[in-house]
Each structure stands twice: as structure tokens, then as C-alpha cells.
Amino acid sequence: MIGLSTITFDLDGARIFSGDRNAELKNRKADRRISRTATLDGGVMIADLGFADGDRTITAIELDATQEAVNFAQYLVENYSLINVTTDDGAYEVAPESYVVDDGKLTLTLWVNRKISD
């Protein structure tokens, strides 16, 4: 399950997405900020700039989405630049980037701004 809420008070600004367990496990994916460059001597140079939560994307899914759930996702995307999201591995401040409904499955894409829990 993934909980979503607006940062400022909004009577209609909170909801829990029951989600899909496989999709929630994919939310735990993280990458380091690294790059590899070929050098003239035939080797490589690797630049490692570390890890940042802000590089992550969280996906909230509602498998049999009601019209109310779709309206909520649309409301967030159209009206909020940042919201709070809680997942199994913590709480995050995120930007609601987009939503899509496909054959009754609602997918809300959230770009992480920062982690707000330890």
C-alpha cells in the first residue's frame, strides 16, 4: 500500500492506494550517479557522484480504479507541485508527474524530491 497526502491541509487531499505488490517492490529500485568514459589509452574512467533519493521514481498503482481514485490522481497532478508519499521503505516529498488509466488500472507516477524519514 502507498499513502498519498497533500502537504498543506486539503479536505480531499489524502488517499491510500492498495496497489500491486510487484509494482511496490519495483519502487525500491535505486541507482548511483555514475558515468563511464572511454580513455585514449584503451581504458575507462568512472566518475561516481554518489546516491541521491531525488533520482528515484515511485509508482502508485490502483488495479481496479474507481472513478473517485482517477479523479484524485487527476486532482493531484493538476493542482499540486509537491505532495507527501509513504511507502514500505519510508516517507518522501514527491512531485506528481503524471497519471494514466489503462483497462481499469490507474498508474500515478511520482518523482522523488527528497526523503523525509530516516
Q: What's the rounded mean pLDDT across residues 65-86?
A: 96
Sign of CA dihedral 21, 22, 23, 25: positive
Contact indicator for 89, 25 with CB cutoff of 8 Å: no
Q: What is the pLDDT of residues 10-59, one digit of tens each?
A: 998 999 998 766 666 677 777 889 999 999 999 999 999 998 888 899 99
What pTM does this model have? 0.82
**Mean pLDDT estimate for the chain:** 91
Contacts of 102 by beta carbon, 8 Å cutoff, 6+ apart:
none
Q: Cell 486532482 appears where?
A: 75
C-alpha cell at 65: 480504479
Average pLDDT over residues 77-96: 95
